[in-house]
């Protein structure tokens, strides 16, 4: 059965939240702390190696109660059960959404078989047992994919750089030929394996890049017979991969019930397996499975993904914030934000509800951010003193990976200081104290500009240490968060029809660029742009 089709703004809880918003919208969080000594105790969750403090938000007991009531009215529990049972909840594409099966304790036989194949392949590369056409072992791996076949694996390998082995993993995604050639400059062809990742084996970017690399490979003096020693594939279309020159035995499976942006847990993560080893890859799966269990079985008022989703809806739909920032205080997580951008905005960037009608309320959030402390010297100015309300998720770690306590304490001092500053701002009394020794003229000149109003909301997620297991839990947390949002907004989070139009038009325009003949039926602006491009 499909997901239920309940318009959230027609629920009793939504109407109560609208009334409640009028009462709370001007309240100061610092006053809420003063009025309730137990606020921190009530608004935090300690789970496994995670500690979530959501007390620095513009909400109170009533807000939380009504948000949980909203979950119950839209029957979120039923939706969660349907996803975990593998029912067809991606209705518009007639597909199940079952990526959680990839990391379940009891996995389908086909998943177990794929994992075993990934283990054998990655260990052959790491141990030097896989030989290229000239008999040399492999020391470079190039992942050729785009979107979900690229972003997740890149993000994980960056996040777990400290766990990487001697294999150097590179990524080719953009159809920009300059990007491809820059990657090829970094490798030794005799010692390189190329992993072509495409469900259809016809994705324009991926196939163009794979074809360019294959041509380059053959120009280096290798033959068609050598391709099978240097190219493998992750695909659901074996025939096309075989026609490309890849041996059937070197094709890893992809399944219809795994969406691209949730596929790093599958053979799409083969480059992860190669880069950090199979053991670390499976520990990441185990971390995700722990979060799955927490999400599926924990009551909504103590459920980390559910509460983060509800808080996000509270700001997006009642405060009308539209954007939210994610600030990880770890350079290892520099690609976590672009990864989330794809996951969240491709999933929930929808304006048609599950009834086939245009929504009359805000849906997907715009996600942005940058690791701290870099972010503090960039866009934090806007959050502190700008005109926009930007809720933030702060992600930090109790322990650094390499154990340099001095540096880590400096980093985390900033982490805690910023959430305090967003909460408290700077009082007029503090400003007067800071400028008291200046001349009256100087005081008057800068007094207003030193004002920080505070009352800026943050969630603080404190994790024991960044490792494969906790990274798996963190990724799964945000997967479940976006799912909850989609359920409440009454949209289909798992299709991506908006990706298709640009592809279709690009194919037609490419033919015009190749022939030099511009279609007179194009809009006037695009016609002129193509003529300008072709004139050079």
CA angle, 376 then 148 then 352, to 5°: 90
Q: E strand or H helix at 235, and its extent? A: strand 231-235
CB distance 476 to 468 below 8 Å: no
Query: Which letter does DSSP use for residue 317 in this model?
Result: I
Beta strands in 296-357 (DSSP E): 323-328
What are the structure tokens assigned to 88, written together? 């067809």
Residue 114 and residue 139: Cα distance in Å, rounded?
Answer: 23
Pairing of strands 323-328, 231-235: unpaired
Q: Which residue has the tokens 């409640």?
A: 20
**Ramachandran assignment for 463, one of left (phi > 0), alpha (psi -120 to 50 degrees), beta (any other):** beta
Which residues are designated catalytic? 346, 377, 503
Which tokens hold the place of 353? 């509800």
Question: Cβ(511)–Cβ(106) under 8 Å?
Answer: no
Nearest C-alpha neighbor of 169 from the set 158, 177, 178, 179 = 158
51 has which bridge partners?
A: 46, 462
What residue spans of 170-221 are helical by DSSP H?
177-184, 204-219
Residue given tokens 């700001």 in the structure block: 315
The stretches of 160-269 forming alpha helices (DSSP H) are 177-184, 204-219, 227-230, 238-244
Task: Compute the distance between CA of residue 348 and CA of residue 488 in angstroms, rounded to an integer.
Answer: 11
Instruction: Give me the residues paired with residue 327 across strands.
Output: 394
- Laid out side by side, the sheet with 44-47 consists of 44-47, 50-53, 458-465, 392-399, 323-328, 366-369
């Amino acid at each position: 059965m499909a997901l239920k089709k309940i318009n959230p703004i027609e629920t009793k809880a939504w109407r109560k939240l609208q009334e409640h918003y009028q009462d709370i919208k001007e309240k100061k969080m610092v006053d809420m702390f003063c009025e309730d000594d137990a606020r921190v105790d009530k608004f935090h969750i300690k789970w496994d190696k995670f500690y979530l403090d959501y007390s620095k938000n513009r909400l109170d007991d009533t807000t939380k109660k009504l948000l949980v009531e909203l979950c119950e009215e839209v029957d979120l529990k039923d939706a969660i059960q349907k996803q975990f049972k593998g029912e067809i909840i991606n209705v518009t594409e007639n597909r199940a959404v079952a990526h959680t099966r990839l990391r379940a304790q009891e996995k389908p036989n086909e998943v177990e078989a794929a994992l075993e194949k990934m283990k054998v392949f990655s260990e052959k590369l790491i141990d030097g047992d896989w030989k290229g056409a000239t008999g040399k072992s492999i020391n470079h791996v190039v992942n050729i994919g785009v979107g979900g076949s690229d972003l997740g694996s890149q993000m994980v390998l960056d996040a777990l750089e400290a766990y990487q082995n001697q294999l150097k993993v590179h990524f080719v995604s953009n159809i920009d030929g300059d990007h491809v050639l820059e990657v090829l400059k970094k490798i030794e062809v005799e010692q390189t394996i190329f992993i072509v990742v495409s469900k259809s084996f016809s994705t324009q970017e991926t196939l163009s890049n794979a074809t360019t690399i294959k041509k380059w490979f053959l120009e280096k003096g290798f033959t068609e017979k050598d391709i099978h020693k240097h190219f493998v594939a992750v695909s659901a279309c074996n025939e096309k991969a075989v026609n490309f020159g890849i041996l059937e035995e070197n094709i890893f499976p992809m399944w219809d019930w795994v969406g691209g942006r949730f596929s790093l847990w599958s053979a799409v993560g083969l480059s992860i397996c190669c880069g950090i080893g199979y053991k670390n890859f499976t520990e990441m799966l185990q971390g995700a499975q722990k979060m799955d269990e927490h999400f599926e079985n924990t009551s909504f008022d103590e459920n980390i993904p559910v509460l983060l989703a509800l808080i996000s809806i509270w700001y997006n739909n009642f405060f009308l914030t539209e954007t939210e920032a994610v600030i990880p205080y770890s350079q290892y997580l520099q690609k976590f934000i672009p990864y989330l951008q794809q996951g969240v905005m491709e999933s929930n960037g929808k304006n048609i509800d599950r009834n086939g009608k245009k929504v009359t309320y805000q849906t997907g959030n715009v996600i942005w951010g940058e690791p701290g402390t870099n972010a503090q010297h960039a866009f934090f100015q806007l959050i502190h003193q700008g005109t926009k309300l930007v809720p933030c998720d702060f992600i930090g770690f109790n322990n650094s990976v390499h154990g340099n306590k001095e540096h880590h304490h400096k980093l985390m001092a900033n982490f805690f200081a910023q959430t305090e500053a967003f909460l408290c701002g700077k009082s007029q009394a503090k400003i007067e104290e800071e400028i008291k020794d200046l001349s009256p003229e100087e005081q008057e000149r800068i007094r207003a500009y030193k004002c920080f109003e505070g009352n800026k909301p943050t969630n603080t997620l404190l994790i024991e240490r960044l490792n494969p297991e906790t990274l798996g839990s963190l990724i799964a947390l945000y997967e479940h968060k976006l799912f909850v949002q989609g359920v409440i907004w009454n949209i289909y989070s798992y299709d991506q029809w908006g990706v298709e139009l640009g592809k279709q038009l690009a194919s037609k325009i490419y033919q015009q660029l190749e022939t030099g003949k511009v279609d007179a039926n194009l809009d006037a602006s695009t016609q002129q742009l193509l003529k300008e491009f072709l004139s050079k």
